[in-house]
A and B are shown apart, each in its own frame.
Chain A
Amino acid sequence: MENNNKQILIIGKPATSKTTFLVQLYSLMRSGNGAIKLEGLPESIKPIEDAYKRLRRGETTQPTPADNNIDLILNLLRGEDAFTLVCPDYGGEQINSLISNRIIKEQWLKLLANSNNWLLFLKLHDLTAMHDVTTKPATESENHEENLKTATDYELSEAPEMVELLQMLLFFKACGIQNPITHIELKVVISRWDELNSDISIPADLLKQKLPLLYEFVNSNWGKESISVWGLSAQGFDLTSDENKEKYLEEGNEKWAFLVRPDGEQSSDITELLSSLI
């Protein structure tokens, strides 16, 4: 058996289910029901301790503190292949800070250098689209004067912001885009899938509809084999009702998470998101 260190980098703003995913991933692997299994207990599950306890009680996880930067290290087995997975857990506010301050933390440089497997977590369920002159007729009377504001008075909208984030990460990894990228495997993960209320079943189609600029960016700059779009519901459903809490308490937390594969098929084995590591 060969043992390899594999590092996966989960990239996502606050409330995109990064920590919930890690807890459910760990729980599923611990139960032995996923294609990838734990090889012994990890030395520590400190990075996900609080979230792990909460989900087992049927409670939603709390936002990870902004300054948190702890690696969850798991020894894993898939068939005969053994590998060590290093998953950093961090406060999603660090992503917001990177985008707005345009400065990266030293430890992020190391994370980027060590990982060629990126999971970009997005939430699309609460996006609101404003009308503009290309979607709704304006009339002369609607033209009004405004003070001259500088460009920096504005924050970026969702799609340009995500593109800017990826551009920044590629820059710090010293990865150019002259040729489509093949050495970094990017999985775009649309999280909180259960909250979407959409008829679209193919995750890439949903990304194209909701954030077309990001869709174009990743498909233009990544090689076909290195980019895929997935859906994920780490909780399965919301945990505000007593009835749903009961499901967690009765049957365990790991049972309810599900993935939507790139072809639209659902799977309860969320370890599939790690398949490219092997």
Chain B
Amino acid sequence: MNTGKCDNPDCNAAITGKCHIGNDTLTECDQWKDQVKTTKSVKKATAEHRLHIQWTGSDFKIPDIERISRRASPLILGSVGHSDSGKTSFLGVLFTLLTNGHNLSDFRFSGSETFLQWEFLMRKLKFEKGKVAFPPPTPSGGDYYSFLHLALRNQKKHLKDILFADFSGEVFSQWSVDKNDAAVENVRWLDEYADGFLFFVNAQIIAERRMAAVYDILDMAERLNESLRGRPVIAVWSKADHIQSVNEAHFRKIETEFARLFGQDTLYQVSNYLDINSNPDPKSISNLTLLNDLLNKISNIKMPKMTIGISTTETDPFLTYRGHGK
């Protein structure tokens, strides 16, 4: 067994025992680092490790997804939309509603490993000294990504881990123009692996920039549709307190095109500004309704049956395992 590792991330010497640049022994290689931990220090590290919680409470990165996937495959939900289309605020309102006692119809809150990030978003929606700050824009740039986690239990008592991807709107705009752009690697990952999507249409921008904004939205919707492979999309008018200012023809154009592309007859409406004449304002709880809708649509997708093409005459219990009972 090789107790060490190579500095070169592409070198497999720790596993194979063979140096990637051809040295006879690993110790001859400048990039090889011997692991000099004694049994005692290894034991100490293990003892300390077991006293630590394995999640930080902050937003998830890729290694966290790998960790949580060990209990079951999580559902990854992609929020798609331009900058300032309310993707992050949507998440903040969602958690605020759950904390205030509003629930999803078909799924029950069962925990989260990203409470600190949820709290950060929720605090931005609270009145402090009579004012609301609202969540700051998601940092721009292709390298930034963030996932928020919720554990939900469905009516059959099955637990599902949900990961909400929160990416910058700028990268979606770039992806819409050029899906092979080097800067949109994260969006390509999401496009490949998400189980469903929320698509945000900013009513305020449509009202102000009219057909120019309609075209931008439809370009992005077409791009998403191109590689959808039957995965569900729920589209939503964000900043819907501006919906009355949207030109009727533009409104219809978007509704019609989204019905064609995603099979959704009417877009949901969400807003951070309650209508005081409407009590309760349906826009204040539609964050939960549309998430419930998306999760049900994902649940209803029939997964193709997988068959394992290995002879059952093998005696290796790993190779002959067929997921008994599941």
- Which residues of A are in contact with B by a Cβ distance under 8 Å? 102-106, 109, 130-140, 142-146, 148-157, 159-161, 163-164, 167-168, 171, 176-180, 208-209, 212-213, 216-217, 219-221
Contact = CB atoms under 8 A, between A and B. Distances in A.
Contacts of A177: 110-111, 151, 159
26 contacts: A109-B51, A132-B122, A133-B272, A133-B273, A134-B93, A134-B284, A134-B285, A136-B274, A138-B274, A143-B134, A144-B131, A146-B124, A151-B117, A156-B57, A156-B115, A157-B99, A163-B115, A167-B111, A171-B54, A179-B157, A212-B100, A213-B98, A216-B109, A220-B110, A220-B153, A221-B111
B248 to A, nearest CB: 24
A167 B56 CA distance: 12
A203 B166 CA distance: 38
Interface in B72-126: 72, 93, 96-103, 108-113, 115-120, 122-126
B128 interface: yes
A209 B99 CA distance: 11
Contacts of B131: 142-144
Given A133-B132, A220-B109, A151 B58 contact: yes
Given A151-B120, A163-B115, A178 B159 contact: yes
B294 to A, nearest CB: 20
A154 B120 contact: yes
B311 to A, nearest CB: 32
Contacts, number: 151
Contacts of B273: 133, 137-140
A33 B236 CA distance: 63
B295 to A, nearest CB: 15
Contacts of B97: 134
Contacts of A104: 51, 53
Contacts of A146: 124, 133, 136
A199 B50 CA distance: 45
Contact of A132 (B71, B125, B136): B125
In the A-B complex, the 7 residue pairs with the smallest Cβ-Cβ separation, listed nearest first, are A212-B101, A151-B120, A216-B109, A220-B108, A102-B53, A137-B274, A146-B133
A134 B103 contact: no
Q: Which of A143, A155, A167 has the most CB of B within 10 A?
A: A167
A209 B133 contact: no
Given A130-B128, A178-B159, A208-B101, A102 B122 contact: no
A163 B98 CA distance: 13
B99 A180 contact: no
Given A151-B120, A221-B111, A132 B98 contact: no
Contacts of B321: none
A268 B299 CA distance: 49
Contacts of A153: 120
Nearest to A142: B131
B195 interface: no
Nearest to B57: A164
B102 to A, nearest CB: 8
A216 B102 CA distance: 10
B229 interface: no
B119 A131 contact: no
B71 A176 contact: yes
Contacts of A139: 273
B325 interface: no
B127 interface: yes
